[in-house]
Structure formats: C-alpha cells, structure tokens
Structure 1
Amino acid sequence: MRLTNLTRIFGTRTAVDAVTLDIPQGQMVGIIGRSGAGKSTLLRMMNRLTDASSGTIHFGELEVSALRGTELRRWQRDCAMIFQQFNLVPRLDVLTNVLLGRLNHRSTAMSVLNLFTREERIMAIAALERLGVEQTALQRAGTLSGGQQQRVAIARALMQAPRLVLADEPIASLDPLNAKIVMDALRDINEREGITVITNLHTLDTARAYCERIIGMAGGRVVFDGAPHELTADAVQEIYGSDRHGAGIDETMTSTSINIPAAAAAAARPSEGIGALAAASA
C-alpha cells in the first residue's frame, strides 16, 4: 500500500494533510492519535469509502484512487473493512451475516435470491469456529454481546478472502478480555495468511503489544512512524500533546491490561488459541 500526498478536506477543515506512507505487504500497522487526528478518514480513503481531495493511493501497481464502478467494488472486496460499530444486520442470524462477506464474489441474481452454496456455508462455519463463536451461528446477530459481534464481523471479513484488512477502532467499545480476543484474531490473520492489517487504536499498550509498526497522527499529519520501542515519551507527547496544565498524557489511562487468571491461563496454552480465550470469557 502506497499513499502519496494524500489529502482530504471537508469544507474549511483539512482532515488528512498530505500523508505519504509506504506499507509493505504483510505488516501489522497500528495508527494512533487523538480524536479528530484523521485516523478514520485515512482508513476510509484507503478503502474508498471516502474519496481523497488530492493525492494518490496505490496497492502494488493498482491505482486505487482512480478506480470506478466494477473495479472499485472489486477493490472493496479485496480490502476488507472492520468497524467499531460492527455493521452487522441485527435481525439476520449470525451465519447469514458472515455469508454476506461473499456478496462481491457472486452473481447479482444469486445475491438477490440469497442463494449460498454448500461450500460457502462450510467456509462461514469454519470462519466462526476460528473466531470461537460457532455456537452462535443460528442466533440473531442483535442478541450477541459486543465482543461476539466484533468477532462475527471479523469472520465476515475473512469470507471476502481479502488482500488487506483495515480495522477502524475495532476494540474501542469492548471490555479488556474481548479486546484481547479481537486483537489476537487480527494478529492471527496477519501471521497465518500474511495479510496486511492496518488498525486504528486508542490504546498505546495495545499498539505496542500487537503492531510491528506504529504511525502517530496529529492534526491530520503523520508525526511519528516507527517501531514500538521508538515510541518514547517525547514521541507520545508530540502525538497527543499536553493537557491544559501542560502535563503529558498518562499512558495508564489508555491501558487495556487484563488481570483475569482464566484469560492468562488460556493465553498460555497456544494450542488452544482463540477458542480457549473465548471459553474463558463465557
């Protein structure tokens, strides 16, 4: 993924200001910054949910910022987006919500008639099992907890067979245990399939623990780009600024640390993976 002088202006406000980034295939990248720093707008431009005011987006040789029509829909299939609000259809069962990830792989007639093949249903169940929520397959999505809904949303993204995964504040509304389960799932996708994962995060400890590269934004611009160990106190202050008393950010305020023995025990048994963590939260 290559962004060159990418800019988005809303009226008189510049949300993203001349961002240039080169993200190699297979990286797991965390984007951090205050609310209004431009993180979400940047991800939405990558997925083309929001058009850039200027600048270009490339994925390999593909000029994403120039795509239209069928080619744009194909890109949005290849570039899966996971949202803070989950964006499931509450009245539909979980299995159908996951199967909706196949819509851009199918003919219009089959999509309209809601006809999914046996192979697609098997794929959907396998995706739910991978996320530890296969037992919810026949429940209405609206009856699930927030953590379960986010795992269903990730399973739906997997059904797209994406080349890139973008996650916009995927753990912002989750408790610490479910936040860990979701981040473990994203890291597993990154490591097992070699898929690039770019995620906006509001917690510094999460970014340090899961991301090999951290990008800090302030006022729509990139002010930090480096490895987790390079995210010093000075760098954090440049990203987040100071409070009205001139003090820097207290990182403990953003902690997602888990102090649940069952979760720690499950995490220590790698062979059980995500399923064990899901059981620990039951």
Structure 2
Amino acid sequence: MLKIENVTRRFGNTIAIDNVNLEIPQGQMVGIIGRSGAGKSTLLRMINRLIDPSEGSILFEGTDVAKLRGSHLRNWQRDCAMIFQQFNLVPRLDVLTNVLLGRLNHRSTIKSFLGIFSREERAMAIAALERLDIAKTALQRAGTLSGGQQQRVAIARALMQNPKVILADEPIASLDPRNAQVVMESLRDINEREGLTVVTNLHTLDTARHFCERIIGMQCGKIVFDGGPDDLTELAARRIYGADGMKDAFSEAITSTSISRGTPKPIPELEAILAAR
C-alpha cells in the first residue's frame, strides 16, 4: 500500500500540492489527469523523492519515504522506478548499456564505475528488450531511435530495477498515436503480469479511461476526482479541467491513443458539449 497523508508542497508562496491524501493498493493501474500546472508531476516527483514534501507523509509498507536519507533513499528510488517524458537515456551509449544502467542501485560502487555487468544481467536486459519488442536495437546508439522506441528502452531500464512501483510522468506526451498505444499497452502488461503498481500522469481523458482501472483528477494541487472510468461524468470532468479546458481535454485525444484496439466508450454529455462548440 502506498499512502499519501496530508502532503503539501510549496515553491515560495506558490502551493503546488495542497494537503493531498491518497491510498493506492498494491497492483493498481492508476492514471492521474488534469491540466498543465495541476500538480501531477510534482506529486509523482515527491513520491519518488526527486523533491521533498513541505508537509505530510508518504508511506510505503509502513515506512515514511519522505524521511529517508542516504542508502535508504537510494533503495527506495530503486524500488520506485521513474519513467520520464524526456526518456532520460544516454544518447551516445547503445541501447543495451542504457538498459543495464537500471542495475546500478543493485551493484557495488566499483563495479558500477567500471561498467562491469554480469552475464545474468545482460541476459535480463535482452529479455526486457525482447518483451518490449525492441531487442533488435540492442547495439544501436539510443540517440538513433524514434521517440517511441526510446520510451520503450526507458521502460526496459525501469524493469531492470526490479521495482515494486512504477511511476510514469507524461510517458506519451511527445509520441504519435501508434507509439503512444504501444507504450501504454506495455505499462498495462507490466501491471497485469507482474502485479506492479503503476501510476502514470496523463493529459487525455480517452487514454486514462481506456488503460487505467482508477483515475485521479487534479486541479490547482488538489484531488477533485477519484474513481473508475465509468465514474468520469460531465460534472467530474468540469471539476478537473474547468469549463474552458473541456475542449482541450478532448482535442488532445486525437494525438493520444485514439487508435487503440476498440475506441473507448464516449461520455455522451461531454461529446454533446463539444458538438455544440
């Protein structure tokens, strides 16, 4: 269980996260949606401890990860893998080495410095690449791959950490519909086959409703919606996006995962609003 209790994050006089409380059971696939600036990325970065909360607790298996330091913090960041919109690969290194970098927190400092990886680790990396259907790129420079391929490399690297939780911060924001679909299907497959908790930030309603069993809606640093895809009514969507953001929430769907297997069931009230505009 991942529990967020009374968490607030301030940047000067600006409140980015405002007294958030949230419980995520092990094995859930959760999508966090909202407009830019709603606090989605800040929340994930606090969970991973890339930034610290100003107030509150972040608990995992009874440990307050907001208080971890040194090796204990590194162990948490190993167990809580982070996938970024910008991929965060090393472009000049080959794909296999980029994936192997996911093992750094499992190794001694000297071996990590020398870049010495075992036969077993290399086999694990190849298996992760095969699972994501990009093993043929193993010896290519990461910088030569398409955006969708690079994001799959980043997912393979995250799997090499052997994590308990995967956080994905806008993983498909810069991808075309086909690659966005592949990336989201990969995350859902990991969630279902490994039983890993997956929490992903998304801009679009259609993607969250199609791939996530639970949706969290944020606005101005607060949680304003928490429910299943079928609970995302017109009123709930208006709370998340505001009246002036409804059209953007749907127009983005054209460039997200709208080509997925079967089109997600529309929300009639929302479709009517767009048709009238």
Q: What one-letter code is carried by the residue in structure 2 that aligns with 1:254? A: E
Aligned position for 1:162: 163
Q: Distance in 2 between matches of 1:91 and 1:250?
A: 37
Q: Is the 8 A contact 1:147 1:179 kept in 2?
A: yes
Q: Distance in 2 between matches of 1:94 and 1:251?
A: 34
**Whole-angstrom CA distance in 2 between matches of 1:225 and 1:251:** 17
1:254 to 244, 252, 255: 252
Conserved? CA contact 2:205–2:250, under 8 Å: no
CA distance in 2, matches of 1:31, 1:264: 22
Distance 2:25 2:139 in 1: 39
Alignment of 1:40-55 (within 5 A): 40-55=41-56
1:142 to 2:140 alignment = no
Partners of 1:12 and 1:27 in 2: how far apart? 34
1:185 pairs with 2:186? yes
Gaps in structure 2 of 5+ consecutive residues? 263-277
- How far 1:254 sits from its partner (Å)? 2.3
Is 1:115 matched up with 2:113?
no
Alpha-carbon spacing, 1:248–1:174, altered in 2? closer, same or farther (3 Å)? closer
TM-fit CA distance, 1:87: 0.1
Contact 1:93 1:138 in 2 (8 A): yes
Counterpart position of 1:80: 81
Counterparts in 2 of 1:84 and 1:21: CA distance versus 1, 3 Å: same
TM-aligned CA deviation for residue 63 of structure 1? 1.2
Q: Deviations over 1:107-133 (max 9, x none)?
A: 001000100000000000000000010
Give the match for residue 216 of structure 2.
Answer: 215
User: Separation in 2 of the partners of 1:138 and 1:2?
Assistant: 40
Match in the other structure for 1:124? 125
**TM-score, normalised on structure 2?**
0.91
Shift of 1:61: 1.1
Conserved in 2, the CA contact under 8 Å of 1:240 and 1:249?
A: no
Asked if the contact 1:237/1:249 (under 8 Å) is kept, the reply is: no
Aligned-partner Cα distance in 2 for 1:135–1:193: 24
Q: Distance in 2 between matches of 1:186 and 1:257?
A: 13
SS of 1:139 mapped into structure 2: coil
In 2: Cα distance, 1:250 partner to 1:51 partner: 31
User: Following the alignment from structure 1 to structure 2, what is the Cα–Cα distance between the partners of residues 203 and 46?
Assistant: 22
Would you identify which runs of 4 or more consecutive aligned residues in structure 1 move more than 4 Å?
Answer: none
Matches of 1:196 and 1:102, distance apart in 2: 20
Q: Which residue of the partner structure matches residue 104 of structure 2?
A: 103
1:32 is matched with which residue? 33
Tell me if the contact between 2:90 and 2:98 (Cα under 8 Å) persists in the aligned partners. yes
Task: Report the Cα distance in structure 1 between the residues aligned to 2:133 and 2:63, rounded to whole angstroms.
Answer: 35
Count of residue correspondences:
259
State the secondary structure of the residue aligned to 2:243.
coil
Deviations 1:1-55 (A, max 9, x none): 0000111000110000000001000000000000000000000000000000000
Partner residue in 2 for 1:279: none
Contact 2:241 2:249 survives alignment (8 Å): no
TM-score relative to the length of structure 1:
0.90
SS class of match (2:74): helix
SS of the equivalent of 1:132 reads coil
Secondary structure of 1:87's counterpart equals coil
1:62 is displaced (CA, Å) by: 1.4
Instruction: State the AA in 2 paired with 1:98.
Output: V
Identity of paired residues, percent? 69
Higher mean displacement: 247-256 or 219-228: 247-256
Cα-Cα RMSD = 1.4
1:232-278 per-residue CA deviation (whole Å, 9 max, x = no partner) reads: 111101100022xxx8436530213445xxx869xxxxxxxxxxxxx
How many Å apart are 1:59 and its aligned residue? 0.4
